Amino acid sequence: MSDKPSYLGLLNAIANGECAAHAYLEEWIKVTPHDGVRGVLQTVSAREGEHGMAFAKRINELGYTVRPNDDPGQARRMKIAGSNKTDLEKMEAFGLGRLDTGDKPDIFDNFFKDHSIDIRTGELLGRYIAEERDSGRLLRACYEQLCAEAGRAPGSSATAPQDDRLAALESKVDAVCEAVGQLSKALGVKADDRSGAAAKAKSNGKSKARAR
């Protein structure tokens, strides 16, 4: 293509973020002893992996290739996912119980502000958004069930405040949080560039990417 699509960075961010999420979810699946958690993770992980490949394919169809991102947090996420922490601890470390915003706005509401998005890319984005929102609902329900099994309310900490290691993890965004946060930032910057505004882009949400 002669003109670089304005939304190429968004596609690249999704491709990288989804592949990263798929990788750590697969590690988690290997070690979870909970059949219900395993079932949810398998559903979500399959979607993440498919999204990563589908967006990489679309980038290739547009005449470009995915640019890998420098994500130092991925090694930490992989370590947590394969650790002997409980499923509930991992859910909270990754923030997966907070992905679903219900009927409130989310990061995906901004995806189609770029009116130059072509039809095929728009179709791909539409399916991606619908599946991501459904995954958020599945993960929230899974998290609430784990909290019920542990006999505590969702959002309440099961670990003492002095646990610096967990506190540090909880202060970081998980793969999905970081991915969505970076997508939001990329979208904001793009919108600023197109409009000529000088304001900085703001992140609206988490997880599951990098601008290309």
pLDDT in tens, 9-33: 999 999 999 999 999 999 999 999 9
Q: Do the Cβ atoms of 189 and 201 come closer than 8 Å?
A: yes
Tell me, what DSSP letter sits at residue 55? H
Query: Given pLDDT bands bounded at 50, 70 and 90, which one contains residue 162?
Result: very low
Nearest C-alpha neighbor of 24 from the set 93, 70, 123:
93
Fold of the domain spanning 8-195? Ferritin (1.20.1260)
What pLDDT is attached to residue 50?
A: 98
Is the pLDDT at 48 greater than 50, yes or no?
yes
Write down the domain spans for the chain: 8-195
The 10s digit of each residue's pLDDT in 100-142 is 988 899 999 999 999 999 999 999 999 999 999 999 999 999 9
What pLDDT is attached to residue 155?
A: 77
What pLDDT is attached to residue 165?
A: 36
